[in-house]
Amino acid sequence: MSTTLTFRNHRVTGKPARVNAPPELDHILQIGFSFWPAKVLLSAVELDLFTELGNGALDAETLRQRLCLDNRSVRDFLDALVALNFLERRHGKYSNTAETSHYLDRNKPTYVGGLLEMSNARLYNYWGSLTEALRTGKPQNESKGGGDPFDSLYKVRCRCNSRRRIHTSKASAMI
């Protein structure tokens, strides 16, 4: 519920103050756990889930077999993607949303998943070392061990290209 007040010809709109109530925790928890949905999306891209669904809806068992997933976790994983609005589920079958179909199906010229693949393969772990970087001032990328981050990046790109993991498209050229 919001309240609108007028004071000296100025309108002020806001939530009424809660008397003797503790501050809200929502924002802290939302940011603190935001890596969960990010990793669910990054894993789906890594597994080529959205490309697998590019030809139409499939049930969980078919997806499990095609993507070589464990039976124990497949439904939770797919339902998490539904909850995050990256997949739709109808009559026991999963399908892409308009966004994931357009941007995350590697068979389409609008595919931008290569950027997310790089983020998952390289950046995700380095951000996990942020506290160490803040304490030591040392880089947490490939140069941490004396290597050249660009050498590693090009090796990942070559390896990915050989497995058809990074897709060049008009959309990725715009980024």
pLDDT over 70 percentage in the chain: 71
Q: Mean pLDDT score of the chain, rounded to an integer?
A: 83
Q: Which domain holds residue 103?
A: 36-111
- pTM, full prediction: 0.71
Distances (CA, A) of 41 to 21, 50, 85, 126, 144: 36, 10, 10, 18, 28
pLDDT, position 39: 97
Does residue 49 sit in the same domain as residue 97? yes
Does residue 78 sit in the same domain as residue 131? no
Q: Quick one: pLDDT band at residue 4, thresholds 50, 70, 90? A: low
With a cut of 90, say whether residue 19 has pLDDT above it: no
pLDDT, position 17: 62
Does residue 58 sit in the same domain as residue 106? yes
With a cut of 50, say whether residue 87 has pLDDT above it: yes
Does residue 106 sit in the same domain as residue 137? no
Distances (CA, A) of 84 to 89, 136, 145: 12, 36, 37
Does residue 73 sit in the same domain as residue 55? yes
CB burial readout 39-66, b (16+ within 10 A) else e: ebbbebbebbbbbbbbeebbebeebbee
- Per the model's pLDDT, the better-predicted residue between 115 and 129 turns out to be 115
The CATH number of the domain holding residue 82 is 1.10.10.10
Does residue 98 sit in the same domain as residue 153? no
Does residue 152 sit in the same domain as residue 104? no
pLDDT, position 84: 98
pLDDT, position 130: 86
pLDDT, position 25: 94
1 assigned to some structural domain:
no
pLDDT, position 125: 85
Q: Quick one: pLDDT band at residue 159, thresholds 50, 70, 90? A: very low
Does residue 140 sit in the same domain as residue 156? yes
160 assigned to some structural domain:
yes
Does residue 81 sit in the same domain as residue 43? yes
- The two most distant CA atoms of the chain are separated, in Å, by 68
- Per the model's pLDDT, the better-predicted residue between 41 and 165 turns out to be 41
Does residue 139 sit in the same domain as residue 121? yes
